[in-house]
Amino acid sequence: MTDYLLLLVAAIFVNNIILAQYLGNCPFLGCSTRIDTAIGMAMAVVFVVVMACAATWIVEEYLLVPFDLEYLETIAFILVIAALVQFVEMFLQKSVPALYQALGIYLPLITTNCAVLGIAILAVQNKYDFVKTLVYSFAASVGYGIALIILTGIRERSATAPIPVHLRGTSIGLITVGLLALAFLGFAGLAG
């Protein structure tokens, strides 16, 4: 039990997927200007990442390893993720339209998000079993969501602040993320 708790804390805070491992920057900077966009994106990321990691773990365990095809990991994973997102989008559109309304526009964006492929590869690299992979992918994507929502809150507030003209836009966004990353550095060593 403590194993999983440690895994959760480590993945959300100590090794935060965006603030410590640099994964998932493009949508991070793009979707962090309004809080409702950010919440939608965060939920979509958790949704896609957990399913993608489950699928890629199964592919690795039952397809790549037994046939000695690990070198095809990259191409296999990205195809699985792309196909999965496509099917999920179609399924949601038909059967759970409310969820599709909430998450729909972010799903194609997430396919090429380095966070999804990154978390999938990290889970496999760390040699987690299936349950640990699910916990890890859930925790990592929740960490991403938390960082995204905090950043959006800050950017919304500072939208009316007098920012020097050359720092406006992406520049001040990056500096804000940097300060957030500095704050999260304080978690280092928490999970041993």
Partner 1 sequence: MTLTQEFTKGLWKEIPPFRLVLGICATLAVTTSAKNGIGMGVATTFVLVFSNLLISMLRKFIPRNVRIAAFIVIIASFVVLAELYMQAYAYPLYKALGIFVPLIVVNCIILGRAEAFASKNPVLPSLADGLGIGIGFTISLFVVGGIREIIGHGTLFSVPVMWSSFKPFGVMLKPPGAFLCLGLILALMNFISSRKKG
List contacts with partner 1 (CB under 8 A). 19-26, 29, 71-75, 78-79, 82-83, 86, 108, 111-114, 117-118, 121-122, 125, 164-167, 170-175, 177-179, 181-182, 185
Structure tokens at 116: 């999804």
CB of residue 36 to partner 1, shortest distance in Å: 23
Q: How far is Cα 185 from Cα 19, in angstroms, rounded to an integer? A: 9
Nearer to partner 1, 42 or 123 (CB): 123
Q: Packing angle between helix 73-95 and helix 114-125, nearest 10 degrees?
A: 120
Q: Smallest distance from the beta carbon of 162 to partner 1, in angstroms?
A: 15
If the CB atoms of residues 94 and 166 are measured against partner 1, the closer one turns out to be 166
Residue 138 Cβ vs partner 1, minimum distance, rounded to whole Å: 19
Residue 32 region, left (φ>0) first, then alpha (ψ -120 to 50), else beta? alpha
What is the distance between the alpha carbons of residues 181 and 161, in angstroms, rounded to a whole number? 21
The residue whose two tokens read 């999965």 is 84
> Please, which residue, 103 or 111, has the CB nearer to partner 1?
111
Residue 96 or residue 153: which is nearer to partner 1 going by CB? 153
Nearest approach in angstroms of CB 114 to partner 1 is 5
Q: What are phi and psi of 13, to 5 degrees?
A: -105, -50
**Residue (69 or 191) nearer to partner 1, CB:** 69
DSSP 163-187: --GGGTTHHHHHHHHHHHHHHHHTT
What's the min distance (Å) between Cβ of 35 and partner 1? Answer: 21
